[in-house]
Amino acid sequence: MSIQTRSGMQRGTITKYRPFTPIELPDRQWPSKMITTAPTWCSVDLRDGNQALPIPMSVDEKLEMFDLLVGVGFKEIEVGFPSASQTEYEFMRRLIEEDHIPDDVTIQVLVQSREELISRTFESLRGAKKAIVHLYNSTSEQQRRIVFGLDKPAIVDIAVRGVRQIKDLVASVPETAITLQYSPESFSLTEIDFALEICEAVVDVWQPTPAQKIILNLPTTVEVSTPNIHADQIEWFCRHMRNRETAIISLHTHNDRGTGVASTEMGLLAGAERVEGTLFGNGERTGNVDIVTLALNMYTQGVDPCLNFSDLPAIQEIYEKCTRLSVPMRQPYAGELVFTAFSGSHQDAINKGMNALEKSHSPLWDVPYLPIDPKDIGRSYEAIIRINSQSGKGGVAYLMESEFGLQMPKAMHIEFGKVIKHLADVRGSEILSSELYQAFEQEYLQRTAPFKLTSFEGRTILNKAGSEALECIATVNINDVPHEIRGQGNGPIDAFVRALNQHGLANFTLKSYSEHALGNDASTQAVAYIQLQTPAGAFFGAALDTNIEIASIKAVLSALNRSTQPIKFN
């Protein structure tokens, strides 16, 4: 039983909407195809993107955007709808008169199939070396019925009249090589045989050849079906079209169902050769297909997209400035958070993957959770791992090493990881890397009570057995009371450990020791990590000093101090 409520969603049997009717294509070929080469890209940022902005771009902003698109490598750029407004017309004129258009770039202009608009469009083209004139009219049953109140032959007539006019006007711009592009707007909702009929009527008037093709742009004006149905529409069209070799089949996908990228990729499998879209998916409603995502999806499959996104943050900055939009944090490839792992198991795997890659020297990118090397697109490794209460020891260790050069021994990751987990839980927010270091300082480096080293001297002696040993003489303050201690061992740490135990000042054994240099200039310091086994348990200590011997002695006391006091950090 279906219950129709006055507002909100229908429940049960949905009568308000109906499923899209699939087209018949039982022997479809596209599912077993692969994308192996880049399509011809056409940016529609300055037209479809611009027409969807609350505040359209000014002429200067459009010029800046145009230069950006040229820099990225677009060879076809829809620069606007010159008959729509004075701003659009002026922009066209400035592009041409100020010589902004490189020889290998073709500008494209959109126009409805209306006589006065087509005439004005041709006026705007004067002086251009080459241009794609993009003619459109809407063809779906819904648009025919609601917008135009016309039957199919009348809709075909709108298109054909427009093409005839363009054909006549070509002679008015003899210096401009004109390519015709025709879009049966709302193709995605148009009966497929009617879409073919109107396109073939256009082709019959224009008379393209394999050398001078027409562009037939089949737009998903509104995305109304799953991407596989879109692919069937494109394959059906490609297979049924007369003289297919005289046309370039182009896609223009919107993202109403959130599957614009998938629809475009499947449309390419189905036989399309050209893609129109925008940077970061700007465009009407949910946007046009995002060309950055499409191109980088190809790249990460080993296909050269022939567009350069090596400095994506700089591209994003200009885009955001010109459009006054912002790229969402989760936007594929570009979003601020897309190369960041907060969760422990992801951090651990990334950390291991990065280390393994460094050791292997393999040219193949092979890091879990990162489908692309952030550095390929101008992102850094710095933001890959960020710490909050979902994070684990692996991520903390990664940051301590990548940000501060501290290579804590693996067993210490657990201990310091707990310190940071506690801090993140108490705080309930992100722990910045500077705070991570601060916690390390407080927990290890600044632990100087109750034991504090005031002096240490080591010298080589001959022991009773006649072999060389090290004797240490040190002063250790315990709760500010100085104690002079002496001990012998096979090295300074051993001698110091024995001295403390022999004098009854402490009771522990050395479990592990490691050290490394920090920095590589005159101010190089050494860092030592010591783990002690005390009656209260096993504890790490760490210390920094320009003298490695002193660093290790201080690290012993750091561990000892920690064993006498619970976690200090809060």
List, as residue ranges, the binding site: 48, 252, 254, 288
Stretch that binds ligand ACO, among 110-118, 255-263, 491-499, 542-550 (CB under 6 A): 110-118
Sheet holding 468-478, edge to edge: 451-462, 468-478, 481-489
Q: Tell me, what DSSP letter sits at residue 244? A: G
Residue 154 contacts ligand ACO per CB under 6 A: no
Spell out a b/e string for 275-295, using b for 16 or more CB atoms within 10 Å of the CB, else e: bbbbbbbbbeeebbbbbbbbb
Kindly tell me which of 284 and 403 has the beta carbon lying closer to ligand KIV.
Answer: 284
Taking the CB of residue 129, how many other CB atoms lie within 10 A of it?
13
Give residues 180-199 in contact with ligand ACO (rule: CB under 6 A).
185
Pick one of 146, 147, 337, 426: the residue that binds ligand ACO (CB under 6 A). 147
User: Shortest Cβ distance from residue 254 to ligand KIV (Å)?
Assistant: 6
3-state secondary structure of 295: helix
Given ligand KIV, ligand ACO, none, residue 183, with its beta carbon under 5 to 8 Å by kind, binds: ligand KIV
Binding residues for ligand KIV, rule CB under 6 A, total 10
**Is the separation of the CB atoms in 304 and 38 below 8 Å?**
yes
Per-residue interface string for the shown chain with ligand KIV, residues 412-451, x marking contact by CB under 6 A = ----------------------------------------
- The gap between the terminal CA atoms of the chain, to the nearest Å, is 59
Pick one of 41, 66, 89, 136: the residue that binds ligand KIV (CB under 6 A). 136
User: Shortest Cβ distance from residue 3 to ligand ACO (Å)?
Assistant: 36
Kindly tell me which of 49 and 417 has the beta carbon lying closer to ligand ACO.
Answer: 49
User: What does the block give as tokens for 254?
Assistant: 């919107």
Q: In this structure, is the dihedral angle defined by the CA atoms of residues 11, 15, 19 and 24, taken in order, positive or negative?
A: positive
Residue 139 contacts ligand ACO per CB under 6 A: no
Kindly tell me which of 203 and 476 has the beta carbon lying closer to ligand KIV.
Answer: 203
Write out the binding residues for Mg(2+): 48, 252, 254, 288
Residue 50 contacts ligand ACO per CB under 6 A: no
Given ligand KIV, ligand ACO, none, residue 113, with its beta carbon under 5 to 8 Å by kind, binds: ligand ACO
Q: Tell me, what DSSP letter sits at residue 470? A: E
Closest to 234 measured CA to CA, from 215, 255, 214, 219: 219
Kindly tell me which of 81 and 440 has the beta carbon lying closer to ligand ACO.
Answer: 81
Residue 137 contacts ligand ACO per CB under 6 A: yes
**Is the separation of the CB atoms in 372 and 404 below 8 Å?**
no
Per-residue interface string for the shown chain with ligand ACO, residues 268-287, x marking contact by CB under 6 A = ----------------x---
Per-residue interface string for the shown chain with ligand KIV, residues 153-192, x marking contact by CB under 6 A = ------------------------------x-x-------
**Alpha helices by DSSP H, 253-386:** 260-269, 291-299, 312-323, 344-360
Residues 80, 62: Cα–Cα separation, whole Å: 9
C-alpha pair distances (Å), 183 with each of 190, 240, 266, 280, 392:
12, 17, 19, 23, 53
Sheet holding 525-534, edge to edge: 509-518, 525-534, 537-545
Q: In this structure, is the dihedral angle defined by the CA atoms of residues 227, 232, 238 and 241, taken in order, positive or negative?
A: negative
Give residues 75-114 in contact with ligand KIV (rule: CB under 6 A).
110
Given ligand KIV, ligand ACO, none, residue 282, with its beta carbon under 5 to 8 Å by kind, binds: none
* CA of residue 82 relative to chain centroid, distance: 34
Pick one of 56, 162, 208, 219: the residue that binds ligand KIV (CB under 6 A). 219
Residue 562 contacts ligand KIV per CB under 6 A: no
User: Shortest Cβ distance from residue 202 to ligand KIV (Å)?
Assistant: 14
Residue 512 contacts ligand ACO per CB under 6 A: no
Pick one of 43, 106, 108, 112: the residue that binds ligand ACO (CB under 6 A). 112
3-state secondary structure of 516: strand
Residue 143 contacts ligand KIV per CB under 6 A: no
Residue 235 contacts ligand KIV per CB under 6 A: no
Pick one of 136, 187, 236, 416: the residue that binds ligand ACO (CB under 6 A). 136
User: Shortest Cβ distance from residue 277 to ligand KIV (Å)?
Assistant: 11
Reported as type and span, the H/E element at residue 216 is strand 214-220
Quick one: the chain helix, strand, coil %, rounded to 5? 40, 20, 35
Pick one of 81, 89, 187, 280: the residue that binds ligand ACO (CB under 6 A). 81
Residue 333 contacts ligand KIV per CB under 6 A: no
**Is the separation of the CB atoms in 542 and 552 below 8 Å?**
no
Closest to 292 measured CA to CA, from 324, 332, 321, 265: 332
**Is the separation of the CB atoms in 118 and 162 below 8 Å?**
yes
Chain residue whose CB lies nearest ligand ACO: 84
Q: In this structure, is the dihedral angle defined by the CA atoms of residues 101, 105, 111 and 115, taken in order, positive or negative?
A: positive
Kindly tell me which of 36 and 85 has the beta carbon lying closer to ligand KIV.
Answer: 85
Residue 222 contacts ligand ACO per CB under 6 A: no
Pick one of 217, 255, 391, 563: the residue that binds ligand KIV (CB under 6 A). 217
Residue 339 contacts ligand ACO per CB under 6 A: no
Please, is 149 exposed, middle or buried when counting C-beta atoms within 10 Å of its C-beta (0-12, 13-18, 19+)?
exposed
Given ligand ACO, ligand KIV, none, residue 81, with its beta carbon under 5 to 8 Å by kind, binds: ligand ACO
Binding residues for ligand KIV (CB under 6 A): 48, 110, 136, 183, 185, 217, 219, 221, 252, 254
Binding residues for ligand ACO (CB under 6 A): 48, 51, 81, 84-85, 112-114, 136-138, 147-148, 158, 185, 221, 284
